A and B are shown apart, each in its own frame.
Chain A
Amino acid sequence: MPADFNWAIGGEAGDGIDSTGKIFAQALSRAGRHVFTSKDFASRIRGGYTAYKVRTAIDPVQSVVDRLDVLIALTQRTIDENLDELHEGSVIIYDGDRSTMADVEIPEGMVGLDIPLKALAEEAGGAIMRNVVALGAACAVADFPIENLDSALQKRFGGKGEAIVENNKKAARAGLEYVHDEYDHEFDYDLETTDEDYVLINGDQAIGMGAIAAGCRFYAGYPITPATDVMEYLTGRIERYGGHVVQAEDELAAINLALGAARAGARSMTATSGPGIDLMTETFGLVATSETPLVIVDVMRSGPSTGMPTKQEQGDLNMMLYGGHGEIPRFVVAPTSIDECFWKTVEAFNFAEKYQVPVYVAADLAMAVTEQTFSPETFDMDEVEIDRGKVVDDDSIDEWLDEEGRFQPHALTDDGVSPRAFPGTEQGAHMSTGLEHDELGRRTEDRSMRVEQVDKRDRKVETAKQTEDFSPREFGDADSDTLILSWGSNEGALVEALDFLEEDGIDVRFLSVPYMFPRPDLTEEIEAADEVIVVECNATGQFANVVEHDTLTRVKRINKYDGVRFKADELADEIKATLDAEEVSA
């Protein structure tokens, strides 16, 4: 029996796939099991294929794998879409009475459980609960105590009244009992429970929670998949801390609203995806030139143009590193896991204010819409530190006034960071502008001042390189000749791929890089390795190009751009193939 269990429900958008999957994930989490979820979804409200997958184990799970043990299929297409992942003995739960499943074909070697989901749901109080009947059936198959489902149902339906909760519990039991009564098959699963308490959270939520923890009080955004969850999370929560969310008329307004709030002294943020970043890019230059601290989250999705809006890709790195006319000093922080979405957002706010720069948080769809379990201490709020940088007040402003008593918001300092006065500070009134300016913030085209201001802004990056720790996260065998580099959400799949490789006697060193700019100098690590492979979800190897440029070397690449995230077992195979190819050519 494998240590992990892989479950999915699939059907058409509008079938309640997402909420059903979420209930099951919640039930597992509340039973003290680790959970990792993933979604296949389409950019439409109804129709099309959509699925919610859950991987669960007693030990932490941080990737999807190419295997499905139990599938609740509401459509034939659900089975067809998952043929590669289904295996001998996989259980498929379906309702043969449903018109779309009348001619269902259960693949050879798999177990089909034909359950009258709709009829049983109607008996329990309403056809709408048919998915919950299927969940009960899944509990029977997986030998998972159904009481755990009750608590998730309570959380989901509690707001709708006790009668609804009770009906759902009844529906779940009808599914469970149907399997017990009608099938004497011995299922090979036993989902144990533990006493651990876990929280189940996705990357967008972790970014939103990190923002509040970090003192973000203003958010402006325009809805866009897959970043909307950040705004939805903050709405209704940030107000408790004196903050506010504005749904802007477009991304141009969103970043300008956020910029305005930041000029007024608020920790301020906007989140979007690639198309929104395109629109924000002009103002991004203003943010940098006016030295305004601002956090901009790019939850990447497949591009260019509208691309595949609900699919994974890490295609915006070049844009975040280089986007915009002129030369723009910026920071790009890239969380490598869902919990890091929280911590990197906190760090992004500190970078923004300490260095008075725009900071991109480069997240991606695979982590944004994926839920994962963590112990609550993972998000220990006592560990959150807020550093506002060089803010002056009514008293300390004196040392930053020129001989005529004028405040110098762009004073030429050794570390490149100038004093910052929030509006309302006495004697602090000053101009900020996207024009090149002097120390007072007033327009200038003076040649030497131009050079001094450019150098000053660039100096902030140098100061940060000397002050901050931009180290990569280290995994695997530090002495291995094979070095894997990656960024973003690939970390989880790679960490699990290391286990698969180890089983095959292959040890590799894996560095997961969370800082894209300023970024760590990896020259030493690369020179120490015989083989360097850069893994990322794009076609042209944007991070690989950066690594080659930085270290004056050539690297191998594993790229995926079919819209689907890496899976751990698939990745292990790809790494083996890359290493084998190298041996053959040698």
Chain B
Amino acid sequence: MSSNVRFTDFKSDKQPTWCPGCGDFGTMNGIMKALANSGTDPDNTFMVAGIGCSGKIGTYMHSYAIHGVHGRSLPVAAGVKLANPDLTVVAAGGDGDGYSIGAGHFIHAVRRNVDMAYTVMDNRIYGLTKGQASPTSREDFETSTTPDGPQQPPVNPLALSLAAGGTFIAQSFATDHKRHAEIVQEAIEHDGFGFVNVFSPCVTFNDVDTYDYFRDNLVDLADTDHDPTDYDAAKEKILDSSKEYEGIIYKDESSVSYEEKFGVDEDMSDIPSGAPDDAMDLVREFY
């Protein structure tokens, strides 16, 4: 890995088709900065993207990457990491991808605690299909498919993560560039599943959860006496629906990654040109 990697090395020559002003620009720039600052380079980085506006991120970045099927980015990312633990693996998707169709995988990815980062571009709306309610939409948020609002409480992804045994739970804001990049970098460097819910406003279809709303309501935990290693304090913040928090909410410093627990430390692409030397032992077991 080269030490003079710049964040622009992670940028592809494809121009994003996101709407002007979309939060995903800031989210992506922060991820690229975090990757560069963490010391990896494009040839040793693997991005896994979901489906939706957010899923286009892999196309606009330069690294090894896969843009998979809707909602399944987390198992793909875990497979990549376990097969080659030397790689830096980041999964990125949206709130629909991660908390609706992929919600089942989210909980189990948190439990599994594979050493990777997961950044969710949460805009509280389905943008690519032009404005339907997402699992994080407000209860009274009117959309084409929910004219009276979803009438269901929004998913609290931070709480889901905590309940599933999350070891790194954070939240950031796409246009708060420096903080966002710092938080994602910490998620990448965390020894386990580094989860960051990123407020990434949709300027076209969501006129409620706007830049202004977040600017006015975000509380940066760095400006408080919050201790992210204090589980109870983290729980309190996560369940506090009166505020929106930015920062590292919870971090288990004794986290042991899945790979370490299971001793998965080899590059599995490296195999012999025939059966393993002692493979006849496998046959003899059946005597």
Chain A contacts to B: CB under 8 angstroms: 29-30, 197-201, 205, 209, 212-215, 217-218, 220, 237, 239, 241-244, 246, 248-250, 252-254, 256-268, 282-283, 286, 290, 376, 379, 381-382, 384-386, 422-435, 442-443
Q: Which of B161-179 contact A (CB under 8 A)?
A: none
B104 neighbours in A (Cβ, 8 Å): 249-250, 252-253
Give the 4 A-B CB pairs with smallest separation, nearest first.
A260-B79, A265-B269, A199-B286, A266-B268
Can you list 8 contacts pairing A with B, beta carbon distance less than 8 Å?
A209-B283, A212-B276, A254-B75, A256-B75, A257-B75, A257-B78, A264-B84, A265-B83
Q: Which of A254, A259, A429 contacts B62 (CB 8 A)?
A: A429
Assuming A218-B268, A376-B280, is B275 touching A431 (CB within 8 A)? Answer: no
Tell me the bound Cα distance from A433 to B55 in angstroms. 10
Q: For B74, what are the chain A residues with a Cβ–Cβ distance below 8 Å?
A: 253
Question: A239 vs B259: C-alpha distance in the bound complex, in angstroms?
Answer: 12
With A217-B268, A244-B82, A429-B43: A199-B284 Cβ-Cβ less than 8 Å = yes
Interface residues of B in 95-115 (CB under 8 A from A): 104-105, 107-108
Contact of B58 with A by CB under 8 A: yes
Residues of B within 8 Å of A384, CB to CB, are 274-275, 279
Instruction: Kindly name the residue among A209, A243, A262, A429 whose own CB sees the greatest number of chain B CB atoms within 10 A.
Output: A429
Are A200 and B286 in contact (CB-based, < 8 A)? Answer: yes
Most chain-A CB neighbours within 10 Å: which of B262, B276, B282?
B282
Give the Cβ gap from B126 to chain A, nearest Cβ, in Å.
19
Question: From residue A288, how far is it (CB to closest CB) to chain B in Å?
Answer: 12
**Interface extent on B, as a size class?**
35 or more
CB distance from A311 to the nearest CB of B (A): 26
Chain A residues with CB under 8 Å of B286's CB are 199-201, 205
B273 neighbours in A (Cβ, 8 Å): 385-386
Contact partner of A261 among B72, B79, B107, B108, CB < 8 A?
Answer: B79
Given A218-B82, A260-B79, A426-B43: A290 and B284 within 8 A (CB)? Answer: no
Contact (A263, B80) CB under 8 Å given A215-B271, A283-B72: yes
Residue B231, interface by CB 8 Å: no
- Other-chain residue from A199, A246, A254, A268 in contact with B287 (beta carbon distance below 8 A): A199
- The answer to whether B262 touches A244, judged by C-beta atoms less than 8 angstroms apart, is yes
Chain B min CB distance to A151 (Å): 10
Residues of chain A with a CB closer than 8 A to B284's CB:
199, 376
B59 within 8 A of A: yes
Cross-chain contact A422 with B275 (CB below 8 angstroms): no
**B42, CB-defined interface residue at 8 Å:** yes
Stretch in B63-71, B141-149, B240-248 with 4+ CB within 8 Å of A:
B63-71
Chain A residues lying within 8 Å of B266, measured Cβ to Cβ, are: 217, 242
A261 with B268: CB separation less than 8 A: yes
Q: Which residue of B lies closest to A424 (CB)?
A: B44
* Residue with the greatest number of chain A CB neighbours at <10 A, chosen from B42, B269, B284: B269
Residues of chain A with a CB closer than 8 A to B108's CB: 248-249, 253
Nearest B-chain residue to A208, judged by Cβ: B282
Apart from A217-B268, A381-B283: 9 A-B pairs, beta carbons within 8 A: A212-B282, A244-B82, A260-B66, A263-B76, A283-B68, A382-B274, A424-B84, A430-B64, A432-B67
